[in-house]
Amino acid sequence: MPSATPLAILCQTASFIKSASQADQCPADQGLEVAFAGRSNAGKSSALNTLTHARLARTSKTPGRTQLINFFGLDESHRLVDLPGYGYAKVPLELKEHWKLHLDAYLTQRNSLAGVVLVMDIRHPLSGFDRMMLEWADVTGLPAHILLSKSDKLSYGAAKGVLLKVQTTVRKEFGNRATVQLFSSPKRQGIDEAHAVLESWLYPAEDSVVDGDQTDTTE
Residue 77 burial (CB < 10 Å; 0-12/13-18/19+)?
middle
The torsion defined by the Cα of 217, 111, 183 and 75, in degrees rounded to 10, comes to 50
What three-state secondary structure class fits 92?
A: coil
Whether residue 215 contacts residue 208, with contact meaning beta carbons closer than 8 Å, is answered with: yes
By C-alpha distance, which of 41, 48, 66 is closest to 153? 41
CB neighbours of 85 closer than 8 A, spacing ≥ 6? 38, 39, 40, 41, 42, 44, 63, 64, 65, 66
Whether residue 66 contacts residue 58, with contact meaning beta carbons closer than 8 Å, is answered with: yes
Q: Are strands 78-82 and 32-38 parallel, antiparallel or unpaired?
A: parallel
- List the chain pLDDT tens, one digit each, 219 residues: 445 667 888 888 889 999 998 888 999 999 999 999 998 889 998 999 999 976 676 554 444 445 788 999 999 999 999 988 776 545 566 666 766 777 888 888 899 999 999 999 999 999 988 998 898 888 888 999 999 999 999 999 999 999 999 999 999 998 888 999 999 999 999 999 999 999 999 999 755 444 444 444 343
The reported pLDDT for the residue numbered 58 is 57
pLDDT digits (tens, 9 = 90+) for 4-20: 667 888 888 889 999 99
Q: Are strands 207-210 and 213-216 parallel, antiparallel or unpaired?
A: antiparallel
Q: How many CA atoms lie within 13 A of 139 on its CB side?
A: 8
Domains of the chain (ranges plus CATH)?
Answer: 6-216 (3.40.50.300)
Q: In angstroms, how far is CA 209 from the centroid of its own chain?
A: 20
